[in-house]
Chain A
């Protein structure tokens, strides 16, 4: 059992942070890598990027949004409870190097948790790192303090203007792309439309862009092909060659479609879970 040692609810309970004991994974993990978690015997295997790692204490941090049965089930786990299975570190670590120009790191929603370790790594490599994080509204913004510490400078956006810039992360990104300072790299993680529009924008300015993809996965080790994405027309597996790819090469529309593969079954599972919870049945 992989025990939860710290737990925090964020963004009005829609996002949960778990610090989990996993010493072997914590020792090996590098920024950009993820783990696969399974709550119990009947649970799904789902991938979550590590938002942080503490090799000294042997823990990793995951931050997830509650979007369906599995994440709703995870949310019921308290400190002292644990995940039956945890596997990692998976995926290729982010390639980090020192660039001449700015490194702009964009996080949307829980994508901010994904880019947090990457931001730290680029700054540690001597880059000037601009963080741009966004959410729909102020209460749903996460990791502002952490991202302020991790970046050289941080810009915040909310769709409804309740905090920071009123608008999308791409508005702020554009300011930097037009700003006159050289931008060497953009890294983005968040909802697929956000990554798609960030990539579209940076392509016009010829700026290299990495995106961290959130494909549906089963094993996470490259044996099933469920997480396959089309990169410049060729199939690649998100779990072994990703999760990061060149944003200008990703077929985002196909990814969006494939992410909808189980809409109906997800609805069924959530309805059953809510019903079982109501009548006190364990799931």
Chain B
């Protein structure tokens, strides 16, 4: 008689304790041990028609890599992953699996879903620790050349795909280090930069060429790239910080989240004065917004020495866009969440530094264009919140550097590049685009999905001419 399999619970992820981790920049989730990974992998039902795969923007063979982990063949697991993702160590850390693959998991209907993200991270990390450099085979050289503008998630996915197909690939990156949001936006304690660099190095080993300090739109135009490359992919991201346009916004100590995070993450201001870039240290911090960028800013401020960090959000908890895991970790570390509150103006001292913020309470009315209930100020509910550092994390739009210097690229009224669905083709011949510059601020994995589609389309064009 077949024995009833003992139910194995979803394996917990060991984490740094909140009191300890709010003072350091090391990772919070520490990763599975091999035993925990194999145990978690054994929970997978190995569905014949895996719905998890349809939840993955790059269609990783999820049951496939999980089965390899269960068998203890970690090398096979990473090989399977690398067939579909150029950044397995990154996605395992930053993907919102809870609304993607894990949301579709059949096991999740009656029990906790398989911890797919944690297993992906385990496979990638153990490969790195083993020095596993195995990579898929590279097709014969085609003699075709592709330029990729931007070394963020969409650009490196296009690069990873096309290099394997035998094309010549050059990535042009404006910053001095590649990675895009992976290196300037996401903090060290969520995504160690050493890991990002290793993923970039792996691409370089495959033959991808990187040119940093190359601002396409200034150093060179897209049309110049088209003179020496057969195709161009634009993956420059949504790099235009949104401000609130309220009085006092230019006081010292008021940052866009982009600036705050770039100083801390890319320029490593958290290591000042060993690293030269300064950053304002706030003791009493307010972060406006409640997405992942706001949570990253808040948790960074804590680690930089704040006594009090508040998220100030104009809607309610249900509408907060941040990942549940990030909110949870933030609150454990001491981040306070102030809901239904919006700043009206900033107040400075005689030296021009912010010292307080006048706020107003909000209530929720009818839904707006985003589908979320519209926040409406409550008359005469104004109050003063003391603060010496404000980070404005209310979104980012389309940076016009490429679009305003490239003829023939059609954009919508917000400046995002218009592309053909499913191929990423722009109106300009031989030019594709994907990621946040097309969709507006989204996620790493969605940008990768767009990169995957564009790579397929570019490959078809280079091979067949259409």
Residues of A within 8 A of B (CB): 24-25, 28, 38, 42-45, 69-70, 73, 84-90, 218-219, 221-226, 228, 230, 235, 240, 254, 257-258, 260-262, 265-266, 268-269, 272
Contact = CB atoms under 8 A, between A and B. Distances in A.
A89 B246 CA distance: 32
Contacts, number: 115
A67 to B, nearest CB: 14
A70 B351 CA distance: 24
B218 interface: yes
A268 B396 CA distance: 33
Number of chain B interface residues as a range:
35 or more
B175 interface: yes
B276 A219 contact: no
16 contacts: A25-B219, A85-B213, A87-B215, A218-B263, A221-B239, A221-B399, A222-B400, A225-B255, A225-B258, A228-B243, A230-B250, A254-B250, A257-B251, A260-B352, A261-B280, A266-B278
B352 A28 contact: no
A221 B278 contact: no
B403 interface: no
A86 B277 CA distance: 16
| The 5 A-B residue pairs with the shortest CB-CB distance in the complex, in nearest-first order | A257-B352, A223-B239, A224-B259, A265-B278, A85-B176
Contacts of A38: 176
B29 to A, nearest CB: 28
Nearest to A268: B273
Interface string B397-427: 0011100000000000000000000000000
Contacts of B399: 221-223
Interface in B244-262: 245, 249-253, 255-256, 258-259, 262
A167 B213 CA distance: 43
A225 B241 contact: yes
B22 to A, nearest CB: 22
B382 interface: no
Contacts of A89: 218-219
A225 B401 contact: no
B212 interface: yes
A222 B174 contact: no
B272 interface: yes
A260 B351 contact: yes
Nearest to A91: B218
Given A28-B218, A221-B239, A254-B250, A44 B256 contact: no
A224 B218 contact: no
Nearest to B281: A265
Nearest to A253: B352
A25 B262 CA distance: 24
